Structure 1
Amino acid sequence: MKEYHLSDLDLNDDVLKRLFFDKNTCYLNGYLLSQKENQEKRTLPVPLSWFKDKDSQLSDNSSRITVYDFSINEAKTGKHKVCWRIFLDRKRVELHFAKEKRRINIHNRRDREKGRSSQEEGEIFCYDAIDTGQVFQAVILCHEADADFLKNLLQKSADIWLGGSQSAGYGHTKISDVNCDDTWNEINIPVNERINHECLTITLFE
């Protein structure tokens, strides 16, 4: 809108609808980029059907934990807990887990007009945010004819701001390594190797 000096959008425009508002262009979530063994890999969220032993904890030093897939065989004994906030990085027959780093900061709520805390606006609160220095990778699925336009649009500015509390320095994000790849697929398995199987598994992410 800024580039074309538009004050509003024509939602009946076919090009606009194709790029942003219908199934022809699909914007996939930005997920944590794994840096294990000097290889960059876009991770995926863990399915909600995955559980682990209640006392099993993941840490940077932990080697392995056992994960149960209740969509295949739900355990009838023992206590299990959903694997929250964990991302899946498929490699060989093992599952490698990665977890985003977060930072919790303490803030004092201020009166916007007075610019300072007051009796009504002086309580202390915590702000939980994704920590700096991490890389997330997003994907846009589109027609080949639209790829260069979207690539140029993403390269208009390397810096963007996401979320709230931007005046406090939160949400500063940099866009980098924008490229086009007509062979990309989410699970890195060619289509011709995904057919003629006796069992078909469809995994839905929340």
Structure 2
Amino acid sequence: MRVTVYAGSAPGNRPVFAEEAGRFAAGLARQGCEIVYGGGSVGLMGVIADAALAHGGKVTGVIPQSLVDAEVAHGSLTDLRVVDTMQERKALMAELGDCFVALPGGVGTLEELFEVWAGLVLGHHRKPLMLLDTEGYWNRLVSLALKTANYGFMSDEESRSLVPIRTAEDLFTTVRNWTPPRPRWSAPSASAAAS
């Protein structure tokens, strides 16, 4: 299984963020999962790559040329895919992964998370979407999703399609039990269109 991981290019201001990121990546690697991530050597992105590689895992990085030029690309990955734009980076990361996990991060992590979440709600993919919830980092987002449903802007199943997890084992449980939300809009079936 290939797990696409979105994570901050900063480490955060508490050691627990790096500790939990490393433990999570090591757990995935020990179970034979390949990690797909943003290709950086810095912040939680670097922690993810280093921990997975240290435990024998395969790690594919996807990074735009501008960040390679800025010398933030990781130099020891199993595979490094260099693309032209951030849009290409996001598309390839989404295509390569069998599921998605967002770790704590800033606006780039949020953008990546919201893009794949919107794709799930719209039925563009059916892949599991999870949040590594270190220190309750994602609590307010989960609450906001539930409030959005309460106000009628999402269905209950859409609002609950962001699944908080704490460990690699939680990821495997979520994937095994995953039921995607029904697509918001779908094309009519051929038989319905013919009638």
- Which TM class, normalised by the smaller chain length? under 0.3
Larger radius of gyration: 1
Greater share of helix residues, 1 or 2? 2
User: TM-score scaled to structure 1, two decimals?
Assistant: 0.23
